Structure 1
Amino acid sequence: MIRLLLILLCVLSGFSLFGQNKQLLYNFDDLPQSLMNNPGAETSFDMHVGFPLLSQVHVSGGSSGVSFYDIFQTGSGTINTRIREAIRSMSNRDFFVANQQLELLFLGWRDQKRRYYTAGIYQELDAFAYFPKDLAVLAYEGNKNYIGKTFHFSDAAFTAEVLNVFHIGFTNYYSEDFNYGFRGKIYSGVFNANSLNNRGSFTTVRNPANPNVYRHYMSRLDVLVQTAGWANLIDSENVTGLKTMEELGQRAFFGGNLGLGFDMGFTYYWSDQYRVTGSILDIGFVHNSKNVENYRYYGTYQTDGIELLFPGGNSPSYWDEWEDDLDRHLKDETLTNSYITWRPIKVNASVDYGFSENTEPCNCHKPMGRRRYYNHLGLQFFAMKRPRGINYATTLSFDKSFSDNFRGKVTYTADSFSFSNIGLLLSGKIYNFNVYLAADNLLDYTNLAKARNASVQFGMQLIFNRE
């Protein structure tokens, strides 16, 4: 069973659709979704109305240490050998991530003072897990070849949540060269599970009194898994598909665990051609107090060997006695105390250079007197807080306007997954109807099994300008 779970983990890492870096949408001021990455971004329109459930569909994710191809390729030993090599090649800093976002509603409008307001709702799933190196080695290979090695339970760490986000914000043009924006958020949690800051170790040594007998130590074990929104769905005897959907729907619309957050950002023109931007997103938390069930396993244990006794004759019930001994030393508890989870903070910063001036008349509401350019070269930096540190990404981009109705963007990104991530965004408009499609890691699309990360997003909406 343990080997099967490890294989599934490797398979899922190949199929999972990095996290939340939306470098293709960042600074793309023809699209309202750019404001979701920087509340202080420019907008070249006066109003937008997103099609419900279709204005943005985003799926992304990957694995920093292994791909589907690494496990299931042919002509390179057995699958067990490849799994063993993959486990040995990864460290406890490697991770798996999956993120999905769906805009349920998104609209925006400009007032008479040229401030641009936005409001909407989006649903998000975010799952992140570090590779439990020590536990994977122990589970897959056992401790036979690791006498004296200490296996640490702290390697196990993961977070997962599903929530709805209700938001309202504005972008204010402070001057010809500078504008800023803020967005407030209410989180309505549907589900949360996490296990962080675990402690304890497992060590096997030879018994000094008898070298043929091994002594096993389980030292200061303390493992805690916190869940919210899960217990009542699995414990109820009368749970049906319809009732489950009703329950999840209520949680998504303020019936779940609630939290607060905010975003902020700015755009500053150093000159007509040079632009600097930055944003901080998801500074917030969720207070998990409803449907909470936490599982804790802790204690210290020592034993000298495990004898394999088979039924027959008057053999003692060895396994029952061993289980009782474990229960006396290692305790398990189910708790219902509330807990707080912090949202993963994201930071964006960029600088870009515009060239090939667009001298065509324009009724778009950019800063007064600002020159426009068909082409932009940009450098963007992205960072995201995770339990054991910060994940980084750096992007080079080329953004080109082919006409007032058609625009594209090409990016090259280096991050924790690869140094060969090429992305492409295309956006077109027919009258007031806009549609866009974005995808990255295009070089691996000929063989997705080799991809360690992928991201796809698309959407459609109505965009209006004042005459």
Structure 2
Amino acid sequence: MLYNVDDLPQSLLQNPGARIDFTRHFGIPFFSQLHLSAGSTGVTAHDIFSDENGNVNERVRNVMNTITAGDYFSINEQMEILSLGWKIGNKGYFSAGIYQELDVFAYFPKDPAVLAFEGNADYINQDFNFSDVSFTGEVLAVYHAGFNYKVDRKLTVGGRLKLYSGIFNAESTGNEGVFRTVQTPNGPNFYRHEVDGLNVIVNTSGYASLKVKDSITVDGAVADLLSRSLLGQNVGVGIDLGFNYRVTDQFSINGSVQDLGLMFHQKDLENSNYFGSFQTNGLEPLFPELDGSESAIPYWDVFEERLDANLRDETTANEYTTWRPLKFNASFEFGTGKSILPCDYLISKRPRFMNLFGMLISGVNRPKGPTYGVTAYWDRKVNDNLRFRLAYAVDEFSLTKLGAMVSSRFKNFNIYLAANDIMGYTNLAKANSASLQLGLQFIFKDL
């Protein structure tokens, strides 16, 4: 909702090459941007917890029949700790800050969930794929500095350098292996159970030290996690790049990429690896006559030994590297209702338009491929101190997503509020997604 809003500094976080309409800014620490979004495709809380069907097992079964391994759950939270910027020369603008981010993304593990919930009786000769298990989760602090430069009357470009300080990370992607039950009418049993090519890896950083501290308190754990945000734990580096090109006074195009970067996990590591292959036709117990000094054959112990010898688990502390979830944006915008705002420092008496109509295509790269969304919006500049935006979006969560943003300025003090999927707020249990952004800051238009 804040993309291309030229009088909000947060637009520079989404496109460092955006055209801007201010000369300085300073955010209220911890309150210049608070952002929370959550969503799930294929299922809502109402589908599971509704009272319409009293049988919870039946509700879960219905959901599992409709949801696919491509459906996912996501949570993203951002809090701007520090934000500031100022004009440099006639064409440049420098901005910097620190923000904390949480990002959790998990695909629905369709096959393992069906196997655990329903068993294998109705799925003879079918594969259950462990590749359905795929998730990422991280908490980190981001230190950033960016520069926005107006090349000429038409083109503005920008870049932002980011240093990541990892607080916590967990990821399990690219898993392999299948489980199947095969009919063997001519074998020693009616069925044979097979685990073939199992290789499931769960990497974590920032977790092992918390796990071993049995006596740690909640306050102690929080303090430990916060201490890792100061570039003392796992670190990474990334960049944002963007541009804005004004084809005519009324029509412009722009685009950006965010978080093109890597995290290097080298400290406080734990890797759990489950791997191997195994086949069994079940137990074939014998019942020999035993005297008082003999014991029965320990069939279960023998089976466990065979299982452990073929399906193994291993815990290591190996370093690993992860890509940050790359974000990309591309949009065009058309203005109507010409106005002149002489306070614009970029171009003396640059023409401005009170109404802006635009379309934005955005996405995030995820383990099984990018997720997409398309947003059409109307942006209305009521006056120098009040602006609002109405938007309609289509994405993988919903085909009817309505959003709104309002930004108001009292002298140099600015407050903004933006919400996505407004219809979902009428009943959050039935909503597939929800998003909320708000912020408080000081914005200056002249020195």
Aligned to 2:318: 337
Aligned to 1:10: none
Distance in 2 (alpha carbons) for counterparts of 1:132 and 1:466: 54
One-letter amino acid of the structure 2 residue matched with residue 100 of structure 1? E
| TM-score, reference length from structure 1 | 0.91
Distance in 1 (alpha carbons) for counterparts of 2:427 and 2:133: 31
| TM-score, reference length from structure 2 | 0.95
Aligned to 2:98: 121
What RMSD, in angstroms, separates the aligned Cα atoms of the two structures? 1.7
Deviation at 1:466, TM superposition (A): 1.5
Distance in 1 (alpha carbons) for counterparts of 2:37 and 2:299: 50
Distance in 2 (alpha carbons) for counterparts of 1:228 and 1:340: 11
Aligned to 1:82: 59
2:371 corresponds to 1:394: no
Deviation at 1:246, TM superposition (A): 3.1
Question: Residues 173-222 of structure 1: CA distance to partner in whole angstroms, max 9, x if unpaired?
Answer: 10011110000000000111111111111010123335863210011111
8 Å Cα contact 2:81-2:100 kept in structure 1? yes
Aligned to 1:167: 144
Distance in 2 (alpha carbons) for counterparts of 1:83 and 1:48: 50
8 Å Cα contact 1:344-1:385 kept in structure 2? yes
Which of 229, 236, 245 matches 2:222?
Answer: 245
Greater mean alpha carbon deviation, residues 75-84 or residues 198-207: 75-84
Distance in 2 (alpha carbons) for counterparts of 1:398 and 1:307: 72
8 Å Cα contact 1:173-1:367 kept in structure 2? no
Identity of aligned residues (%): 45
Which structure 1 residue ranges, 5 or more long, are not aligned? 1-23
Deviation at 1:88, TM superposition (A): 1.2
Which of 32, 46, 54 matches 2:23?
Answer: 46
Aligned to 2:404: 424
One-letter amino acid of the structure 2 residue matched with residue 453 of structure 1? S
Secondary structure of 1:45's aligned partner: coil
Aligned to 1:290: 267
Summarize the alignment of residues 61-80 of structure 1 with structure 2, pairs less than 5 Å apart.
61-76=38-53, 78-80=55-57
Question: Residues 371-408 of structure 1: CA distance to partner in whole angstroms, max 9, x if unpaired?
Answer: 11111000111021111111111000000011110100
2:328 corresponds to 1:351: no
Which structure 2 residue ranges, 5 or more long, are not aligned? none
8 Å Cα contact 2:24-2:84 kept in structure 1? yes
One-letter amino acid of the structure 1 residue matched with residue 205 of structure 2? A
Distance in 1 (alpha carbons) for counterparts of 2:283 and 2:409: 71
Which of 353, 363, 380 matches 2:343?
Answer: 363
Aligned to 1:304: 281
Greater mean alpha carbon deviation, residues 80-89 or residues 233-242: 233-242
Aligned to 2:365: 385
Greater mean alpha carbon deviation, residues 149-158 or residues 238-247: 238-247
One-letter amino acid of the structure 1 residue matched with residue 324 of structure 2? R
One-letter amino acid of the structure 2 residue matched with residue 397 of structure 1? Y
Deviation at 1:305, TM superposition (A): 2.7
8 Å Cα contact 1:177-1:367 kept in structure 2? no
Distance in 1 (alpha carbons) for counterparts of 2:134 and 2:46: 25
Distance in 2 (alpha carbons) for counterparts of 1:380 and 1:61: 20
Question: Residues 94-139 of structure 1: CA distance to partner in whole angstroms, max 9, x if unpaired?
Answer: 1111100000000010022331110000000001111111111101
Distance in 1 (alpha carbons) for counterparts of 2:44 and 2:284: 39
Deviation at 1:255, TM superposition (A): 1.0
Deviation at 1:307, TM superposition (A): 8.0
Distance in 2 (alpha carbons) for counterparts of 1:212 and 1:322: 16
8 Å Cα contact 2:342-2:348 kept in structure 1? no
Distance in 1 (alpha carbons) for counterparts of 2:28 and 2:296: 71
Distance in 2 (alpha carbons) for counterparts of 1:305 and 1:369: 83
Distance in 2 (alpha carbons) for counterparts of 1:110 and 1:308: 82
8 Å Cα contact 1:374-1:400 kept in structure 2? yes
Deviation at 1:43, TM superposition (A): 1.3
Secondary structure of 1:389's aligned partner: coil
Question: Residues 120-163 of structure 1: CA distance to partner in whole angstroms, max 9, x if unpaired?
Answer: 00000001111111111101100011111111111110000110
Summarize the alignment of residues 101-250 of structure 1 with structure 2, pairs less than 5 Å apart.
101-209=78-186, 213-250=190-227
Distance in 1 (alpha carbons) for counterparts of 2:219 and 2:52: 48
8 Å Cα contact 2:378-2:390 kept in structure 1? yes
Question: Residues 29-66 of structure 1: CA distance to partner in whole angstroms, max 9, x if unpaired?
Answer: 11110110000111111101000100000000201110
2:312 corresponds to 1:321: no
8 Å Cα contact 1:69-1:450 kept in structure 2? yes
Aligned to 1:33: 10
